Structure 1
């Protein structure tokens, strides 16, 4: 019969095992589950042809594909405009030219190219592939990689600030938190710019790319610092696993994800806004809609994070009240 002193130890051991199993389940759903269930579902692609017999053939192609792809029949000019605006992942210009873009997520481009090439071969032609805004290997990897590195770098800075405050027994003030956010944003941006030059010196590094990287890093730093200030070290249980979501979810296009992952994870993960905006800027498409969308979303994260970081807490309000000159002090007379 176990002694009473051993019961708590056994209970804690069981609790630790349950926590480990739950962590494996959660991370399995967040990461490998998204990759294991990848399948086309309404992937938007276009078939372009001028009026006449080729337009009839285009309508015939568009009638096939089931629910895996969503065809749009258009003219060659409009098809390329749709590709520039990232409304489709590829265009088949009849009779046999497949047009894709390096500014589009590579996961969607790869599937679209396979489908469009197959359609061209079914018509008896040999597909010719034309790539708008061609991207190098580094250019395809860098947008998501830089977003994930920005998240990790800024998270480390915020965690160190919290732990340092606990070590000295005093929470960092609003001024210190703001200084950390700005410094982390600037320094992490410098590190990311260095990686861009190291990976591929031909990648553009103009003010638009640097500005977007700075906005991304500063927004991430502000959001993380605000949550760490609000929840303490417990916020790491939220902020840490989000890093694992980046390659598994944000690296895919929504039409390849299971609808559950699309709605629950992809729809709001901050990495997709920064990665797709950077992709367009780096490939010379600054007018792409995802650049504007990404800038607005990141600016919103920056504002919310700053509000959480500088808003006076209960202890700060109590200190302010105690230091007020008109505060009434009760004096006891013995």
Structure 2
């Protein structure tokens, strides 16, 4: 007959197994599920032709593709401008030339190259391929990789501050948290810059890139510090899995993601703003719209983080309540 001491242990073991299964289900759904359901939908592409007979051929190509491709019929000059602004992922210039860009997310460039090459071959021609802002293997990986490393590095710094406060029995004050945000931003930026030069020394590392890297690191540190201040080490349950979830989603262009993943994850993940803005800077397109968008979003996180960090936590509220002199005290008479 099982004793009372055995029953709680058995129930806890069962709950632990259920928790593990739930974690596997959630992470599988949010990470590998996003990759397994990749399919093009309204992929923005352009077909460009000079005035004349080729315009009819361009319109004929634009009528193909169904819901998978969203064609725009343009002039060659406008098509390249759309590609620079990342409003399309590739251009088919008639007679037959495929134009793609290294400043576009590699997943978008790859699928655009396949679709445009197929459209050119349907005309019975083998297309010439031109790449604007050519990029190597490291250049394709670096923007998302540095964003993920910034997240992990700043998260480790924030968690260490919380654990150190618990060890000494005193919560970190506002000055300590502010110091942690700034110092983590500076030091992590140094690490990211070192990796950038180590992986591909040909990539630019000017003040604009360094400033953007610092903005990424400081914004991530501020957001994490604020959530850790409010929730304590329990915030790791939210912040930790984002390292697995967000890069998987941010590595795709939205037109390849299932609409549910696009709305629930891609629309808000901070990794896409940092990665795409950094990609444009590294490929020499500082005026691209995603650079300005990234600056605004990351600056917003940087501003919101300290506000969360200064919000009084549960322990502070309890201390204030305990120190109130006019509180009602129940006095028992024995």
TM-score higher than 0.5: yes
Instruction: Tell me, yes or no, if structure 1 residue 151 matches structure 2 residue 116.
Output: no
> What are the ranges of 5 or more consecutive residues in structure 2 without an aligned counterpart?
327-334
Q: Deviations over 1:96-123 (max 9, x none)?
A: 1000000000000000011001111111
Q: What is the deviation of 1:323?
A: 9.8
Separation (CA, whole Å) in 2 of partners of 1:30 and 1:172: 34
8 Å contact kept, 2:48–2:75? yes
Aligned counterpart, 2:287? 287
Q: What is the deviation of 1:245?
A: 1.6
Q: 1:249 to 1:314 in 2, by over 3 A?
A: closer
Separation (CA, whole Å) in 1 of partners of 2:276 and 2:57: 34
2:72 is paired with a residue whose SS is: strand
Q: How does 1:220-235 map to 2 (within 5 A)?
A: 220-235=220-235
Aligned counterpart, 1:60? 60
8 Å contact kept, 2:96–2:128? yes
1:135 is paired with a residue whose SS is: coil
Number of positions where the alignment pairs a residue of Structure 1 with one of Structure 2: 327
Q: Please give the TM-score of this superposition, normalised by the length of structure 1.
A: 0.94
Aligned counterpart, 1:191? 191
8 Å contact kept, 2:204–2:282? yes
Q: How does 1:193-212 map to 2 (within 5 A)?
A: 193-212=193-212
Q: Deviations over 1:247-272 (max 9, x none)?
A: 31000000000110000000000000
Q: How does 1:217-256 map to 2 (within 5 A)?
A: 217-256=217-256
Q: How does 1:32-181 map to 2 (within 5 A)?
A: 32-181=32-181
Separation (CA, whole Å) in 2 of partners of 1:106 and 1:280: 12
RMSD value, Cα: 1.8
Q: What is the deviation of 1:213?
A: 0.4
Q: What is the deviation of 1:144?
A: 0.1
Separation (CA, whole Å) in 1 of partners of 2:153 and 2:185: 9
Aligned counterpart, 1:4? 4
1:38 is paired with a residue whose SS is: coil
Q: Deviations over 1:19-61 (max 9, x none)?
A: 0000000000111000111111111000000122100000000
Aligned counterpart, 1:332? none
Q: What is the deviation of 1:322?
A: 9.7
Q: What is the deviation of 1:310?
A: 2.3
Aligned counterpart, 2:262? 262
8 Å contact kept, 1:144–1:246? no
Q: What is the deviation of 1:319?
A: 6.8
4+ aligned runs moved over 6 Å, structure 1: 317-324
1:285 is paired with a residue whose SS is: coil
Q: Please give the TM-score of this superposition, normalised by the length of structure 2.
A: 0.94
Q: What is the deviation of 1:316?
A: 4.8
Separation (CA, whole Å) in 2 of partners of 1:36 and 1:114: 19
1:92 is paired with a residue whose SS is: strand
Q: What is the deviation of 1:311?
A: 3.2
Aligned counterpart, 2:330? none
8 Å contact kept, 1:178–1:310? no
Separation (CA, whole Å) in 1 of partners of 2:298 and 2:176: 22
Aligned counterpart, 1:214? 214
Q: How does 1:10-25 map to 2 (within 5 A)?
A: 10-25=10-25
Separation (CA, whole Å) in 2 of partners of 1:20 and 1:315: 30
